[in-house]
Structure 1
Amino acid sequence: MILWAALLMAHSCWALDGAAAGSTGLERIEKCSTQCSQKLRCKSKPDHLFRPPCQNLPEALNTSSSLHNISLSTVMRCEGRQKCSLHLQIKTVLQLSESIHGVSICTTSPGTITTCQSVRFTKASRERMNGLKVEVVNDCTPVYPSQQVQVTVETVPSYCGVTLTDVYQAPDCSGEDLRRHVPECITGRLSYTVNPEKKELSVSVSEMLDGHNYHLRLCHKNLICFGTGANALIKKEEPIKAATLRYSQPLPCLCIEGWSTVMDAPRVQVCPFSERVEELWTGITFDPLEENLIWKPACPVTAVASLCQKRDDRVCVDLPGSPQNVSREKMVFSEVDPHPDLCVKFTSGSRSWTRCPFADRRLQAWEVVVMAAEGQRKVNLLSQITATFSVGLCVKPAASHECHVTETHSLQVEKHKAVDLNLGGKMCNFCVQVKRLDVKFAATTTDCFEQCDESPDVRPAVARRPAGNLTWVIPATICLAGVIGVTLVLHLLLTVRQKRKQKENRVRSSRKKIDCALDCVVSGLKTQPIVHGKVLLPDSTQSENTEKANLISN
């Protein structure tokens, strides 16, 4: 009994699910037909497009009461799970009389031929139901998803002024019922997993159109979806409907597109990285000859781009006159000084991102440095190009990011030449503010000198001076290594030579001790080297005794 109750409950649940699914879908019909009100017998047949002109309305008929209204909807007729077609269902209400023998229903769509159907009432029905309101339903007009149809209903015979006209648009393929059952709407369902390390998308397809192969590809979605070159074909006989597609960058407009291999097949798209807007703020380029900063969005985006200067507290302050609206076109900032503190700020909605294309300092055109010469320390402006600068002395209060300028000078700096900023003897506890004047957009730098250091080395004015050209370091390192190597080799040779001399001296000394005739001469021969640094040198007196010993032994 318990099992039977469970089965009964399950059957009830399935029945409810089916009813719920049917309530959200289109009405089904088994076949197209024309139906009239109960007890009213009617027949339908194709009508001629070119009918005779309308007749004058009889006095017994009323223009407003003959045809009351017209109602249009879409129904679905199915021959299989994925073999359903759409039909336009037309309902009209009219007041029956002996002068009205039926109705004519005509439909037309843009680019198609008008088709008409005539619905006739039998004479006996007209006489029996004279003066009553009757309903006529016809659902034999096929339509396609999103098709627009104009419907015209007239009386038979056609009386002037007794006409109803309405325009109807069939539902599109966005409805779940159509996407599952109408071939023109079946796109398949795509699911995916992302492998960011390998930059791969594993795509699975379900509910694809039966009996057809399936295309997959990656594309960049704009007005249309432009392919990236990554594509795959899933065969209809393959048991596992899946493929792997490789991508280069996770852009928000990068989408997976799928469609069946039929003419004018609808396509489905899913975009795995639609939220990765930050990926758009790359690809900024700089033309050093024209001094143009260029950026083109890889995807359509609504944003504002502006130039800003990065402060020490990492806040980027917008430069006046720089904001530009971004859409699909290339963005160009003209006459830009490529300074490390100059950045590009992108703002989209309530979020913003900052990119600093000159942060690596490879393109920095000028810098402020401190140089020592003849015991004097000088603040110089070095430039890789000929340019005009504004230089000012300023006072920077504690805990403030702004410097109050006390005096300003304009100067021309030649290419590859250092210019003394001539600070009037102020060598410490001051700030200098420099900005390039011959461009449209430039950063204003403030360099402060807090200590007086008389070191003869050349050093940057501030810690953010670029690394500069370090090509001299490699040759200097090689030379230093060579000197150290030669010194070690010489030291080794001298040490070996000295040890050999000591050994020879000890051998000669032992021989002379055996010869009793030479005892008085050999008694003073013991070599004691004197250490000077890291090289062993013999004492001068002992060297003379050694020479005498050599002469005697010979």
Structure 2
Amino acid sequence: MILWAGLLLVHCCLRLTGAAGENPGLETCMRCSQGLHCKTKGGYSFPRPCENPTESLNTTVFHNVSLSTVMKCERMQKCSLRLGIKAVVQVTDSIHGVSFCITTAGMMMRCKTFSFTRASRERMSGLQVEVENNCTEVSPNQQVQVTVTTVPSYCGMTWTSTYHSPGCSHEDFRRLVPECITGRLSYKVNPDKKELSVNVSDMLNDHNYHLRLCRKDFICSGTGAYTLIQKEQPIKSATFPYSRPLPCLCIEGWSAVMDAPRVQVCPFKDRVEELWFGITFDPLEETLLWEPACPITALAALCQMRDDGICVDFPHSSQNVTREKIAFSKVDPHDRLCVKFTAGSQSWTRCPFADGRLQAWELVTTRTEGREEVKMLSQISANFSVGLCVKSKGSPECQTTETHNVQVEKQKAVDLNLKGTFCNSCLQVKRLDVEYAATVIHCLKLCSDSSPLRSDLTWVFVLTGVCLFGVICVTLALHVLLSVYRRRKQKITGVRNGEKQIEPPPTCVVSVLQTQPVVHGRVFIPDSPQCGNNEKANLLSE
């Protein structure tokens, strides 16, 4: 059983108490219980064959064996890790000592042996004594196999266990153990200039320091921004430009020694939204392509953007995103067709055709003489579904009432004023010869087929109104003139009937407005009513 006794920080060589003074030859990294005289020897060893124990020998020899990590320091940044082994042993005349052996991958077995003197065995026979070994050096994050045996080695009296030493994540190790010293990185971001200012502290003494920008994946691949900070520099800092604040863009630093551990800090690790750019479209293959700039677990799907800002997913269009390029084949490029990315509980939508530059077809609307004409113009030859539909109030859905298939040739406009269209109805258009296409709804604001008839009736009503207005004006004018004429006539008649004839009767007057019949070169002048009733006409010669 492995018993963690904790990490012991020692800033000088381990000093022993008790029997150490009585055993001047004993190494200071090994210790026996007080009163037990021990001798030690070490080195590489091959396992020896075990001996059969005597009947009087108790098979339970080892008690409370524990393993721990001990740090031995000579000075600051000059510490090493040791494996601490502590065991309680039952002393008998048949057991002459204890052997601690360590085996690591690719290395021979290393052993340290305690030998008990004969006098000690006789004096302390039957008692339990404690032995401790802190001499074996191990590396951070190393796995070792520990074997504790008796001397001589008796079969069935062996204690074995596996131990994993702590890694460099421990704070003390990162400050004091050379194999773990990475230095500390701090940074400031200048988003206007797109620059990262990096400062280095607590780097390994008397060594230069590598610093660079990299993109983190299985390994951190360099971006080309690199510098070597000299150990003599009073201010250990550098400035790096960057192009995009990607979540996998990191600052990496390490000491200029062989197999030095590295430290990484990623200033933009929360900027996941930066990954959803870089969508491209191949118009020849009609394929939508996107490759993540950083490894990420997400879901990508095609969707259609509605007027209310909701993007509705296309069925069976979802693809898992990790680090590979994804492709959507047979896609109709339209400004309403978008890509929705989902990572965790968040979603982002990008519409690569929103600028309209790659749109393959469009609906063109013209209004002339009160009617609205809708035509389709396509950059390629394609098949479309064109239907009549009606929108219910307050709903984005359009209920289709009639559908037609329309073949559109390249650069040839097609009239979409279908028979049966009426005011405030809609046209629903979708491309059929691709796998993913947006459904476009165009609602008519003016009448379509019935518009010419209503326009003609309007002109008839307008002309009729103008004519009636003219007749009314003429009638009123004639009525006024007639009224004036009658008043004047009544006035003249009243004067003649009411006054005496004092003056001679007036001379006869002939109206020049009357037509004068010509007889043989002479003008016949009829009797004027003002000349009396019985006056004869005069025949005048020229």
Q: TM-score, normalised by structure 1?
A: 0.76
Q: Deviation per CA, 1:502-552, whole angstroms, max 9, x where unpaired?
A: xxxxxxxxxxxxxxxxxxxxxxxxxxxxxxxxxxxxxxxxxxxxxxxxxxx
Structure-1 separation of matches of 2:47 and 2:371: 110
Q: Does 1:237 align with 2:232?
A: yes
1:4-83 paired onto structure 2 within 5 Å: 26-28=8-10, 30-31=13-14, 32-46=28-42, 49-50=45-46, 52-63=48-59, 65-83=60-78
Superposed counterparts of 1:140-539, under 5 Å: 140-371=135-366, 377-424=372-419, 426=421, 428-452=423-447
Q: CA deviation at 1:71?
A: 1.1
Q: Which amino acid aligns with 2:157?
A: V
Question: What is the Cα deviation at residue 27 of structure 1?
Answer: 3.2
Task: Give the distance between the partners of 1:384 and 1:166, measured in 2 at CA.
Answer: 75
Do 1:378 and 1:427's aligned partners in 2 also have CA atoms closer than 8 Å?
no
Cα separation, 2, equivalents of 1:47 and 1:239: 46
Report the alpha carbon displacement of residue 360 of structure 1 after superposing the two structures with TM.
0.3
Q: Is the 8 A contact 2:332 2:434 kept in 1?
A: yes
1:128-174 CA-to-partner distances (Å, cap 9, x unmatched) read 11101111101110001011110111100111111000110111000
Give the superposition deviation at 1:268: 0.2
Query: Corresponding residue for 2:90?
Result: 95
Cα distance in 2 between the residues matched to 1:55 and 1:286: 78
Query: 1:427: how far off?
Result: 5.4
- Once residues 194 and 433 of structure 1 are traced to their aligned partners in structure 2, the CA distance between those partners, rounded to angstroms, is 50
One-letter code of the match for 2:13? E
Question: How far 1:51 sits from its partner (Å)?
Answer: 5.4
Partner AA of 1:34 in structure 2: M
CA distance in 1, matches of 2:44, 2:7: 35
Structure 1 window deviating more from structure 2 (189-198 vs 33-42): it is 33-42
- Are the counterparts in 1 of residues 385 and 431 from structure 2 also a CA contact under 8 Å? yes
Q: Give the aligned partner of residue 99 of structure 2.
A: 104
Q: Do 1:255 and 1:271's aligned partners in 2 also have CA atoms closer than 8 Å?
A: yes
CA positional deviation for 1:50 = 3.4
Shift of 1:24: 8.7
**Which residue is equivalent to 1:546?**
none
Aligned partners of 2:445 and 2:373: how far apart in 1? Answer: 14
Conserved in 2, the CA contact under 8 Å of 1:380 and 1:419? Answer: yes
> 1-side partners of 2:298 and 2:283: how far apart?
26
CA contact (8 A) 1:190 1:206 kept: yes
**Percent same amino acid among aligned pairs?**
65
Conserved in 1, the CA contact under 8 Å of 2:86 and 2:133? Answer: yes
What residue identity is the alignment partner of 2:401? Answer: T
Question: 1:382-413 CA distances to partner (integer Å, 9 max, x unpaired)?
Answer: 11101111110000011110000001111211
Partner of 1:499: none
Query: Are the structure 2 counterparts of residues 279 and 24 from structure 1 closer, same or farther at C-alpha, using a change threshold of 3 Å?
Result: farther
- Structure-2 separation of matches of 1:25 and 1:150: 19
- Assess if the C-alpha contact under 8 Å between 2:372 and 2:445 holds in 1: no
Contact 1:69–1:164 at 8 Å: present in 2 too? no
Is 65-74 or 91-100 further displaced after alignment? 65-74
* Matching residue within 102, 108, 113 for 1:113: 108
Cα distance in 2 between the residues matched to 1:47 and 1:367: 86
Mapped contact 1:345–1:353 kept (Cα < 8 A): yes
**Letter of the structure 1 residue corresponding to residue 9 of structure 2:** E
What do the CA deviations read for 1:306-328 (whole angstroms, capped 9, x no partner)?
A: 11111111111111111111000
Q: Which runs of 5+ in 1 are unaligned?
A: 1-22, 455-554
Distance 2:358 2:87 in 1: 78
Work out the CA distance in 2 between the residues paired with 1:405 and 1:179. Answer: 70
The CA deviation string for residues 350-387 of structure 1, in whole angstroms up to 9 with x for no partner, is 11111000000001111122246798653211111011
**In structure 2, C-alpha distance between the alignment counterparts of 1:309 and 1:53, rounded to whole Å:** 77
- Partner Cα separation in structure 1 for residue 140 and residue 8 of structure 2: 13
C-alpha separation in 1, matches of 2:224 and 2:44: 53
Give the distance between the partners of 1:67 and 1:25, measured in 2 at CA: 23
Contact 1:47 1:118 in 2 (8 A): no
Q: Give the TM-score, by structure 2 length.
A: 0.77
Q: Is the 8 A contact 1:377 1:427 kept in 2?
A: no
Confirm or deny: 8 A CA contact 1:432 1:448 kept in the other structure: yes
Rate the CA distance shift 1:52–1:330 in 2: closer, same or farther, 3 A: closer
Deviation by residue 1:152-210 (Cα, 9 ceiling, x = unmatched): 11100111111000110111000001000000000000000000011100100000000
For 1:165, give the aligned amino acid.
T
Distance in 2 between residues matched to 1:198 and 1:441, nearest whole Å: 41
Give how far 1:48 is off.
Answer: 6.3
Distance in 2, Cα, partners of 1:432 & 1:452: 13
Residue 421 of structure 1: how far off its partner (Å): 2.0
Q: Name the SS of the counterpart of 1:280 in structure 2.
A: helix
Give 1:37 deviation, angstroms. 1.1
1:125 positional shift: 1.0
- Paired with 2:254 and 2:245, the residues of 1 have a C-alpha distance of 22
Q: Which runs of 5+ in 2 are unaligned?
A: 15-27, 450-542
Q: Is 1:26–1:177's contact at 8 Å kept on the other side of the alignment?
A: no
- Kindly state the Cα deviation for residue 33 of structure 1 after the two structures are TM-superposed: 1.6
| Structure 2 SS opposite 1:347 | strand
Shift of 1:428: 3.1
Kept after mapping to 2: 8 A contact 1:89/1:139: yes
CA distance in 2, matches of 1:379, 1:62: 104
Q: Work out the CA distance in 1 between the residues paired with 2:368 and 2:47.
A: 109
State the alpha-carbon separation in 2 of the partners of residues 375 and 92 from structure 1: 104
Bigger mean CA deviation after superposition, 28-37 or 170-179: 28-37
Q: Give the secondary structure class of the aligned counterpart of 1:59.
A: coil
| Contact 1:25/1:177 (<8 A) preserved | no
TM-aligned CA distance change 1:190 to 1:431, over 3 Å: same
CA shift at 1:69, angstroms?
3.8
CA RMSD of aligned residues (A): 1.9
